[in-house]
Amino acid sequence: MIRAAPLLFIRRSLGMRWFGTGLAVLVLGLGAPAAQAEKKVIVSHGISTFGDLKYPADFSHLDYVNPEAPKGGEISEWTLGNFDSMNPFSVKGVGGVLSTIMLESLLTGTSDEIGASYCLLCETLEYPEDRSWVIFNLRSEAKFSDGTPLTAEDVLFSYETLLAKGLTDFRTVLSQQVEKVEVLDPHRIRFTFKPDFPKRDLPQLAGGLPVLSKAQYERDGLDLAESTLKPYIGSGPYMFDRMDVGRTLVYKRNPDYWGEALPINRGRNNFDRIRVEYFADSTAAFEAFKSGVYTFRNENFSKLWATGYDFPAVQKGHVVKAELPNGNKATGQGFVFNLRRATFADPRVREAIGLMFNYEWSNATLFFGLYDRINSFWENSWLAAEGPPTPEEAALLQPLVAEGLLPETILTKSAVMAPVSGERQLDRRNLRAASNLLDEAGWPVGEDGRRRNAKGEVLKVELLNDDANFDRILNPLVENLHALGIDAVNKKVDPAQLESRTRPPAYDFDLITQQVRTDYFSDSSLKQYFGSETADVSAFNLAGLRSPAVDRLIVDVLAAQDKEALTAATRALDRVLRAERFWIPQWNKNTFTVAYYDMFDRPATPAPYALGEMDFWWYDEAKAAALKAAGAIK
């Protein structure tokens, strides 16, 4: 299923792209400002957080693509719910999936490196060793899909528009980072960063901003803060094609794409069309796949994967069922508490509720043993905290303990791990532990079996849910909470209601499933997910977490100047976040479980950090013709 995956500057969309050798060094000439005349400046085709880039300036193509992949055909996928906007930058309306696919940025990442970005709209970038500023030298051939040139003015306009109209949490952080942006000439733009903000990631942040067409924005009267069905014009390989509002979206490959021949693009963007079909429920979506209405599924439902793929198209070999390697760290999916609710102010209450989710029983009974438990926000990576703090972690945690921001036990205890349960749905040992925690927190059990506080208020928990497939997971949890004396309910809503109830400023929920995303080399996105300053304005910090200790550790992560320092700071942050218990970790699997009609091919060398079916897979005309002749697809 295509899920709406929010990037840092968008609320609801899914893009195609993922955001040193070959370095040249020069000294600024006589035309440079006097204060910078002696600064060593790096000129390069890309930039990496630490160390060298994998690909040199003269690379011919990415290692994980087929540079001779043919162009043509269509790939189609599904998503749940509906859409009423083509503007994913606003909290108003529900943005269509892939509604940023048309837009490009100055820099782009790859799917086989961590922390590396390469020039896309720019030809080179220039920056001093302290990364206090960056200049992007734009490609003169870059143009929007309407044929108009893309210039530095468009980049400046996009930055200013995002700063003025973007998501509030994004604007809050961006205003702390950038001092000014200057157009030096039509194909040259400079970002100067604020002196008191860590600079390590800022050139890549500036280079990762989407570039809008200033002319289209003004001509069509667009407003980044408002809902609209008018798609953006971009410079990317795909353009908007057509829509059936709330039901279907189609994007088409731009036959005149300016960047087709770039080494970073060889073997990519291979489909003529990308189609997204919306369904009101997942059962209808699966039945549509079985009948060939759409052609690709990244299966997220373990029961279907284990028991549902025995239909005729699979038996006849028309549909391929495959498990492909997934080297990504875990998504950070978990049940997230709304800490703005007074009910969840006491961490003992949150811990008690967490004890009632029996992962072991769920995995064996409901998931067919396909998943692994998550413990860390950086699960499945070297950044996850383990055991007691290392000396390097302790050096960061000790000052926070001395200031009373953290308990002394953070220095001696092992990192918080998810509770382990028994084979039965209701684990009696965990029930007793949870009961003791709630008694201590002032929620004793009354004669009616319900827990009340000193004011006589019943302890209630509403689990907000827009997916019928989650009922089989949530209903046992609700039953376990009832056994604990909590008035719990699985509150079913449609996707639009879920969207409106979880976005700022409403935050109208108790407990919700969220993917709390983190990066390997974390940047200022940490402030949007965990920072106190965005707790009441963020589309990502749904928990409303406010922790001075977390805020300080985020600064340590952003300020780390080598991989070792960043590792220690990230593990310390992970340790403290887990100790906050605002999150009941769920599960992860280290494979992509996919099913697709046998009309696609993929490179022999897989990308370690991406499935990439819409990026570097391709359409096989002969296979597709055979499927059509057999009546397998429409």
- CATH number of the CATH domain containing 571: 3.10.105.10
Mean pLDDT of 281-293: 95
Query: Is 603 domain-assigned?
Result: yes
| Sign of the CA dihedral running 71, 72, 76, 82 | positive
pLDDT reading at 17 higher than 70: no
Same domain? 287 vs 209: yes
Same domain? 161 vs 226: yes
- Residues 44-58: tens digit of each pLDDT: 999 999 978 999 999
438, 462, 496: which is the final residue of a domain?
496
pLDDT reading at 21 higher than 70: no
How many distinct structural domains can be found in the chain?
3
Q: Which two tokens stand for residue 7?
A: 């990037």
* Share above pLDDT 90 across residues of the chain, in percent, rounded to a whole number: 88
**Distances, alpha carbon 15 to alpha carbons 63, 212, 237, 470, in Å:** 21, 15, 12, 26
Mean pLDDT of 176-183: 97
pLDDT reading at 565 higher than 90: yes
Mean pLDDT of 121-131: 97
Same domain? 126 vs 148: yes
Query: Is 509 domain-assigned?
Result: no
175 vs 152: CA distance, rounded Å: 20
- Residues 463-482: tens digit of each pLDDT: 999 988 899 999 999 999 99
Same domain? 465 vs 532: no
Same domain? 53 vs 80: yes
Query: Is 312 domain-assigned?
Result: yes
Q: What is residue 39's predicted lDDT score, i.e. its pLDDT?
A: 76
Q: What is residue 53's predicted lDDT score, i.e. its pLDDT?
A: 96
Range of the domain at 340: 335-373+418-496
Mean pLDDT of 409-425: 96
Mean pLDDT of 264-278: 98
- Give the pLDDT band of residue 13 (cuts 50, 70, 90): very low
Same domain? 597 vs 480: no
Query: Is 503 domain-assigned?
Result: no
Same domain? 576 vs 444: no
Average pLDDT, rounded, for the chain: 93
Report the candidate in 215, 90, 85 with the shortest Cα–Cα distance to residue 164.
90
pLDDT reading at 547 higher than 80: yes
Q: What is residue 8's predicted lDDT score, i.e. its pLDDT?
A: 54
468, 496, 524: which is the final residue of a domain?
496
* β-bridge pairing 273-279 and 74-80: parallel
Q: Which of 17-26, 339-348, 543-552, 560-569 has the lowest mean pLDDT?
A: 17-26
Same domain? 172 vs 129: yes
- Give the pLDDT band of residue 135 (cuts 50, 70, 90): very high
Same domain? 439 vs 407: no
Query: Is 508 domain-assigned?
Result: no
Q: What is residue 634's predicted lDDT score, i.e. its pLDDT?
A: 77
Same domain? 78 vs 147: yes
Same domain? 154 vs 72: yes
Q: What is residue 25's predicted lDDT score, i.e. its pLDDT?
A: 37
Q: Is the peptide bond before 312 cis (omega within 30 degrees of 0)?
A: no
Question: What is the 3-class SS of 488-513, one letter each residue?
Answer: EEEEECCHHHHHHHHCCCCCCCCEEE
496, 525, 548: which is the final residue of a domain?
496
Report the candidate in 359, 34, 87 with the shortest Cα–Cα distance to residue 217.
87
pLDDT reading at 224 higher than 70: yes
Q: What is the CATH number of the domain that holds 227?
A: 3.40.190.10
Same domain? 347 vs 479: yes
Mean pLDDT of 525-544: 94
Half-sphere exposure of 399 (CA within 13 A, CB side): 11
* Share above pLDDT 70 across residues of the chain, in percent, rounded to a whole number: 94
Please provide the DSSP assignment of 111-152 as one string.
Answer: SS-SSEEEESSEEEEEEETT-SEEEEEE-TT-B-TTSPBP-H
Of residues 610 and 539, more confidently modeled? 610
Tokens 């009632």 label which residue?
356
364 vs 106: CA distance, rounded Å: 47
Query: Is 506 domain-assigned?
Result: no
pLDDT reading at 510 higher than 70: yes
Q: What is residue 38's predicted lDDT score, i.e. its pLDDT?
A: 57
Query: Is 80 domain-assigned?
Result: yes
pLDDT reading at 32 higher than 90: no
DSSP state for residue 411 in the 8-state scheme: G
pLDDT reading at 15 higher than 70: no
Query: Is 204 domain-assigned?
Result: yes
- Residues 297-316: tens digit of each pLDDT: 999 999 999 999 999 999 99
- Give the pLDDT band of residue 377 (cuts 50, 70, 90): very high
297 vs 593: CA distance, rounded Å: 8
SS3 49: coil
